[in-house]
A and B are shown apart, each in its own frame.
Chain A
Amino acid sequence: MSIAVADISFSYGQRQALQSVSFELQPGCFNALLGPNGAGKSTLFGLLTRLNALQCGSASINGHDIRQHPARVMSQLGVVFQQSSLDLDLTVQQNLLYHAALHGIARKPALAQIELELMRMEMLDRLHDKVRNLNGGHRRRVEIARALLHQPGVLLLDEPSVGLDPASRRALNQHVRQLCEDRGLTVLWATHLIEEIDPQDPVLLLHNGQLKAHNSGQQICLQQQVDSLSEAFHRITGLNREAA
């Protein structure tokens, strides 16, 4: 299952946020979307999740055009937003049951699926805790469990590690990589942190709304004739490494 984007451009009034972006994700793989703040990552996510309307170009998920078959697309898409979108005053189970209901899943199968997903995320013991009482890392895990409840083939994560300490960040990253291996899930992980990307990961490098590179981290380094992805990033964007 994959995402294909062809010639997408998007502007907010005068400001051009994306310019002629085209790519196809590698299916069943951890794909990284790397770019500094303001590169257009969230705009791209908004378009893929239909929160923003496509102005030009096209996008499809597993061959289904997002404009023509929105229901099919949304049922195959799991999304973790940059800002937490859990209801803090509800319990983990109540939040997840709500999401399952939105996907038309009845309570009984939803409860079974919730148990399964939380077990995978090692969060089952927090089932009846209010989200307010969870730390940032655990909230993220619940959000990933939620995004997978309806068993999508594609998981989009918009800077999911923002606000987490380094240990939680690594654990979360590892968890999602495991999901790719275990289930053949296609992941698009947006980040501005180069250390979250492994050398063999396919990388989409976005800068000023343009796709500057699309290759594995290793290949990008080879093309740029540098030793590390952070140096390649610096060479391509002209930004220093800290800005990435």
Chain B
Amino acid sequence: MSHLDGTLSLPASAYWHCFCGILKREYLRFINQRSRFLSALVRPLLWLIVFAAGFRAALGIAIIEPYETYITYEVYIAPGLCCMILLFNGMQSSLSMVYDREMGSMRVLLMSPLPRQFLLLSRLLSIAIISLLQVYAFLAIALLVGVEPPLAGYITVLPALVLVAVMLGALGLFISSRIRQLENFAGVMNFVIFPMFFLSSALYPLWKMQESSEWLYWLCRINPFSHAVELVRHALYLKLDTESLLVTAAATAVFSLLAVTGFNPQKNQKPTR
């Protein structure tokens, strides 16, 4: 559809076909990289099976929301490990989006006539949806060590996981396009992934952290990843943590906005020769 002034307004169906195409491509890449899928599962499973077994005795968990009874440590850390999968995937794929831009895939994406913000958000959402397959595979294996949320929890957790995945993907895209020093994954691990993960309620309830240090507790409280973990934890057990939902949604909106405005393939370009 064209206008007299020469602008081109594409129909809504063009956006839909474009999104489906991006999602399909992420899916095809995913099924072509089974080894990457397996290695992404090994990390949280090590935490769940080895780390949790060692820590079970050291860390007693009182009855806390959303659980209605005493739980094992494996049950406590499972939602945090789901978020850990999303955290690693989000950072890894965002980094590759930024540093691939000199290479083929990003160039091909940017040859589309659709707005670049739409293309980036579509890719973030597609990566998020594909990451969910890994989370569900992890939850299926977690059944073997007694992590048995109610059956309906597997459905109610879905929107929470999508929101968290987009939040972390957008954060990754923002960080990697703005901070040149973090251009390798080791840098992101040390300065983003580990602090975010350890300064959250993924591995220990925050009241335990408060007993040790008030300021560490507050760092954990303002960490959006803590809220993401709590959102997923509650949703998995059929409950809604409104505060976590609001914080996660707000963080997703802010990070997405920063990511799409910060991502400018026309900046920081090196001459190709």
In whole angstroms, how far apart are the Cα atoms of A147 and B22 in the complex? 17
List chain B residues, Cβ under 8 A from A17.
271
Stretch of B104-112, B177-185, B229-237 lying at the A interface: B104-112
Given contacts A86-B104, A104-B10, contact A42 B272 (CB under 8 A): yes
The residue on B at minimum CB distance from A107 is B17
Given contacts A81-B104, A102-B18, A104-B15, contact A50 B266 (CB under 8 A): yes
Q: B residues near A, CB below 8 A? A: 2, 6-11, 13-15, 17-18, 20-22, 24-25, 28-29, 32-33, 103-105, 107-115, 119, 264-267, 269-273
Q: A residues near B, CB below 8 A? A: 12, 15, 17, 37-38, 42-43, 46, 49-53, 63-64, 68-75, 77, 79, 81-87, 89-90, 94, 97-107
Q: How many A-B residue pairs have CB under 8 A?
A: 128
In whole angstroms, how far apart are the Cα atoms of A74 and B108 in the complex? 12
List chain B residues, Cβ under 8 A from A71.
7-10, 113-115
The answer on a CB contact under 8 Å between A104 and B11 is: yes
The answer on a CB contact under 8 Å between B266 and A70 is: no
Give B119 Cβ to nearest chain A Cβ, in Å. Answer: 8
- Which of B21, B29, B103, B115 meets A102, CB within 8 Å? B21
The answer on a CB contact under 8 Å between A89 and B29 is: yes
In whole angstroms, how far apart are the Cα atoms of A17 and B14 in the complex? 37
Interface CB pairs A-B, < 8 A, 12: A38-B273, A49-B111, A51-B107, A52-B266, A53-B266, A64-B6, A69-B7, A85-B105, A87-B29, A94-B25, A98-B25, A99-B111
The answer on a CB contact under 8 Å between A104 and B103 is: no
The residue on A at minimum CB distance from B104 is A85
The answer on a CB contact under 8 Å between B7 and A87 is: no
In whole angstroms, how far apart are the Cα atoms of A67 and B9 in the complex? 16
In whole angstroms, how far apart are the Cα atoms of A191 and B9 in the complex? 35
In whole angstroms, how far apart are the Cα atoms of A83 and B107 in the complex? 11
In whole angstroms, how far apart are the Cα atoms of A239 and B107 in the complex? 32
The residue on B at minimum CB distance from A60 is B6
